[in-house]
Structure 1
Amino acid sequence: MKLSAATVDRMQPTDRRQEIPDSLCTGLYLTVQPSGKKGWQVRYRHSGVHRRMSLGAYPILSLAEARQRAREALAAATEGRDPAEEVKAARAPKPEDDRDKIKILIVQYHKRHLSGLKSGDMVRRELDRFVVAAWGERNIQSITKRDVIELLDGIADSGRVVTANRIRAYLNKFLNWAVERDILPISPATGIKPVSKEVSRDRVLTADEIRWFWAACEAEAFPWGPLGQMLLLTGQRLNEVAQMTDGEIRGTLWHLPSLRTKNARAHDIPLSDAAQAVLAGVERVRNGSGYVFTTNAKTPVSGFHKARIHIAEHMEAIASEERGEAVTIPKWGFHDLRRTAATGMARLGIPVRVTEAVLNHVSGTGGGIVAVYQRHDYADEKRQALEAWGRSVKLLVEGGSGNVVMIKDFAQ
């Protein structure tokens, strides 16, 4: 039958499905269903097998358009292609491009940018801990400003406001890097302010809190117990202690290479008798890197937020039992142990410049001209100071007064 727009329009349904061939385009058929619905179909051969493919419904697809699509399908079949399979493949959902997933891009960000920074590994750990954990499988283009705000709010609502501000800064730089590399047109973090204004902390544990902290660490056991005790006894930063290796311990001296310190200055920390006793009690988990504080033999410990909560809960339980009533201890953080050590040494009469040497500070009395021209590292003075602080902590733990040990032999 020679089909025309008029004959197609007038074609009436019957009680059976009809297939009317088009004499002007061999292989094209008009189908008429018993329901009255009409459509177009093309028949062809592929690999010696007869195939058929639906082209579309009438009148959405006109006779002229159907003939054009049929000719294209027949031409493809003549070339050895299967037009039906090609259409199916074109309509199939495209697999998500892994290269734009957050977890993949953060690996690239570490390789291209963070690896060249002294703090790069720390930033990578924090991005993995919060950003990858929340969005790792998502494409970066799907991240909205609202997503960023909700992520930061969630961290802040868990009591980690300062951490939320740090993650905001790290995330902002990562997203700006993605913009620079034409992965994103604009950063979804643009215009997002810090979660809260940070106030300089001055929290120092009291004598009683030091006793309760020490007892809580003994109850907590490895790894957080001895890690907490080493933080208090040495006054060093959390990551410096957490990533301590046996290779850094040289007899009674703990050597921190420049790559491991915040200010990129190598630092020697004399280990007091108290600190040596803590380390001697740590049962080592064999690992290739020699980490002292590791649970998986692959990486140093992490999960500091939960660890602090566990120790704080133990402290309150111990304090409540001791006093026979519920005791609430004001919130403290691991960095407050460093401040507590510094304050404790000051109370023992240790000169500020020696305390700064113990803490590896380059500001204050140790900055400026002094830092450039005075290369004396106060090795003997640091050892005396840390020994005195260790004895003071021991006296507190045993129930005595931590202020009875005074330093008299430092040059004033």
Structure 2
Amino acid sequence: MSHLTTTAASPKRKGGPTILTDRTCEKRVTKRIKVYDRKCPGLYVSITPSGVASFSFKFTDPETGKQRCGWLGVYNSETFNVDTARSTVYALKAVGNAAIVETFHSRKAQKSRAGKTVDEIIEERIEWMETPVKKPDGEMRPRIETWENVASHLRRLLSPRLGKKLARDVTKHDIATLSNDIVAGRHGGTPSVANARHMRRAASGLFNWAAEAGREYVTASPCVNLPKLDAEHPRQRVLSADEIRIFWHGLDREDLPWDRRTRLALKFELVTMLRSGELLAAARSELHDLDGDNPRFVVPLKRVKKRRDIIQPLSSLAVEIICEALTNVQQQHVFASPRGDQPLERKAMATALRGTKRKGGEVRTPGICALLGLKPFTPHDLRRTAATLAGDLGFDEAAIARCLDHAVTKKQDVIIPTVTGKVYNHSKRLKQKRAVLDGVAAELRRIIEAAVSMKQAETELLLAA
């Protein structure tokens, strides 16, 4: 038997080598660790927070003198456990150094011929998604404009568990097991049905793309007929009239630690029903006829969730907010950042409502909700509140849906052909939308001015007494 140089654990490694057991491979960790086997020098197991343990063999290449690692396989209590890994290493040691190098070379070649790993197609998919293409408005933007979120879900949720596996070998059981582990928090993160749903959606897109003609890395997607996830209950938070009054006047307090334009943006969302991403980057050039009879805000499709232009009529209350936010003629962005004439950060309003914390959980800057004594809510809840006000005022749901930029396909139990709205009828229903938004603004004025009337009445009573 030829002598083989193997490498045990570094003396700096915490705990040093130990006798590996199946229990060692199954333990949960908070960060990736390597545990070397004292019984079989050179053998080690790498354990990730997602619960995947894989065996490798560290040795010295006789030709270069450099340390190399050969991957042996993923731990499985029945098919590839500690004893199996040791037997594999002992067999490798018996054939000698040159044969070991050749073995790992041939394994790599076989793996390459067998197809791409999940990690490889993930990176190829991400490159495809972020490639700029010409959009309907003529601009060059990424093919999938939400590619960063999809990439995060693939790398963070799918890759740690299945990344090293050949894409063609991934089964429906693998996806279902990972999904269940994410829901239960067994993947190394917090339990989350939403993350399981994100993983499934991203994985489905990945494998459908990988199965397309010209790629055919897989024959079919494994993300079909999976068990249904528990339903996620939609938020139903709506501010009451008293909460609206407290919120509106509270935003005018000078002692709040949040920028004035951030607070004005919060008011603007309540008044216009627009999404945060649509209004925060509002530019002066997107505002029209502010001094006329038809003031409106044209949101370009690149900022709209459904990638279609929005023409949102502006009520007199919305115009007042804009005029206060535009402090000088040189300012190009309505809700400009304190750091300069650039839009506020996308999460600025949510952060202001929630507040910020230090790493230890200690409150760093209290949020507006806490400072005003209001039950927590999000910017999106302001859209829901405005829509609810419109409903209470008796406006038609179809008109409210258009203000929210929601699709309207059914009216009075009559199905409208999709092609009608997509190809033929491009009316923006501005009169309907203006009626709704003007009605909401009038109701908001009534609510917020009620507090002023009450204070005046109290003052008069005190003076009379």
Which TM-score bucket, shorter chain as reference? 0.5 to 0.7
Cα 1:307–1:188 change in 2 (3 A) is: farther
Name 1:346's counterpart in structure 2.
391
Q: Would you say 1:277 and 2:323 are equivalent positions?
A: no
| 8 Å contact from structure 1 (residues 110, 124) kept in 2 | yes
Residues 53-95 of structure 1 deviation map (CA, whole Å, 9 limit, x = unaligned):
79xxxx9679xxx9xx9xxxxxxxxxxxxxxxx99x979x99x
Alignment counterpart, residue 267 of structure 1, candidates 288, 305, 310: 310
Distance in 1 (alpha carbons) for counterparts of 2:249 and 2:207: 44
Distance 1:353 1:99, change over 3 A: closer
- After superposition, give the CA deviation of every residue in 1:106-153 in whole Å (9 maximum; x if it has no partner): 23234499989x996553242245444667899944596455555566
1:208 maps to 2:242: yes
Evaluate the alpha carbon distance shift between residue 107 and residue 147 of structure 1 in structure 2; reply closer, same or farther with a 3 A threshold.
farther
Correspondence list, 1:190-269, <5 A: 192-193=226-227, 195-199=229-233, 202-214=236-248, 219=256, 220-221=258-259, 224-251=262-289, 252-257=295-300, 260-262=303-305, 266-269=309-312
Q: Secondary structure at the match of 2:355?
A: helix
Q: Check whether the contact 2:270–2:383 (CA below 8 A) recurs between aligned residues.
A: yes
Query: What is the alpha-carbon distance in structure 2 between the residues aligned to residue 308 and residue 164 of structure 1?
Result: 27
Equivalent residue letter for 1:270: P
- Check conservation: 1:178, 1:184, Cα contact below 8 A: yes
Match for 1:301 among 323, 339, 346? 346
Distance in 2, matches of 1:120 and 1:211, equals: 44
User: How far 1:254 moved relative to its partner?
Assistant: 0.7
1:123 aligns with 2:146: yes
Q: CA deviation at 1:337?
A: 2.5
- With over 3 angstroms needed to count, the CA separation of the structure-2 counterparts of 1:306 and 1:260, relative to structure 1, is closer
> Which amino acid is the alignment partner of residue 400 of structure 2?
T
SS in 2 for 1:225: helix
SS at match of 1:236: coil
1:315 aligned onto 2:369: yes
**8 A contact 1:204–1:339 mirrored in 2:** yes
Q: Which residue of 1 aligns with 2:210?
A: 178
Contact 2:300 2:310 survives alignment (8 Å): yes
Residues 212, 315 of structure 1: 8 Å contact kept: no
Distance in structure 2 (CA, Å) of the matches to 1:304 and 1:134: 28
What residue in structure 1 maps to residue 381 of structure 2?
Answer: 336
Aligned 1:10-409 pairs, distance under 5 A: 100=120, 102=122, 105-111=125-131, 121=144, 123-132=146-155, 140-141=163-164, 145=175, 149-150=180-181, 161-162=193-194, 165-166=197-198, 168-180=200-212, 181-183=215-217, 192-193=226-227, 195-199=229-233, 202-214=236-248, 219=256, 220-221=258-259, 224-251=262-289, 252-257=295-300, 260-262=303-305, 266-282=309-325, 301-302=346-347, 309-310=354-355, 313-319=367-373, 329=375, 332-361=377-406, 362-365=408-411, 368=415, 377-400=428-451
After TM superposition, the structure 1 stretch with the greater mean CA deviation from structure 2, 335-344 or 140-149, is 140-149
- Distance in 1 between the 2:154 and 2:384 partners? 30
Are the equivalent residues in 2 in contact too, given 1:233–1:390 (CA < 8 A)?
A: yes
Aligned-residue CA RMSD (Å): 5.7
| Residue aligned with 2:146, SS | helix
TM-superposed deviation, 1:206: 1.4
* In 2, Cα distance between equivalents of 1:306 and 1:244: 19
For the 8 Å contact 1:103–1:137, the answer to whether it is kept is: no
Tell me: CA distance 1:257–1:377, structure 2 relative to 1, closer, same or farther (3 Å).
same
Question: Which stretch of structure 1 is more off in the superposition, 203-212 or 192-201?
Answer: 192-201
Number of residue equivalences: 312
Report how far residue 290 of structure 1 moved: 6.4
SS across alignment from 2:373: helix
Judged with a 3 Å threshold, the aligned counterparts in structure 2 of structure 1 residues 283 and 267 are, in CA distance, closer, same or farther, namely closer
Alpha carbons 2:354, 2:369 under 8 Å: kept: no
Higher helix share: 1
Q: CA contact under 8 A between 2:182 and 2:192: conserved in structure 1?
A: no
AA in 2 matched with 1:172: S
1:127/1:171 contact within 8 Å kept: no
Question: Which whole-Å CA distance do the structure 1 matches of 2:195 and 2:209 have between them?
Answer: 21
| CA–CA distance in structure 2, aligned partners of residues 125 and 293 of structure 1 | 25
Deviation at 1:229, TM superposition (A): 2.4
Alpha-carbon displacement from aligned partner over 1:243-299 (angstroms, at most 9, x marks no partner): 544443224311134565455654311122332333344479xxxx96956779599
Amino acid in the other structure paired with 1:272: S
Q: Which amino acid aligns with 2:230?
A: S
Paired residues of 1:101 and 1:138 also in contact (CA < 8 A): no
CA contact (8 A) 2:298 2:310 kept: yes
Counterpart for residue 25 of structure 1: none
Name the residue aligned to 1:16: none
When the two structures are superposed, what TM-score results if normalisation uses the length of structure 2? Answer: 0.48
The structure-2 alpha-carbon separation of the partners of 1:301 and 1:108, relative to structure 1 and needing over 3 Å to count, comes to: same
TM-score (norm 1): 0.53
Q: 1:106 to 1:100 in 2, by over 3 A?
A: same
Q: Secondary structure at the match of 1:388?
A: helix
Q: Distance in 2 between matches of 1:197 and 1:53?
A: 58
Q: Deviations over 1:177-235 (max 9, x none)?
A: 23543446776756654542134554432112323444666644367534432221111
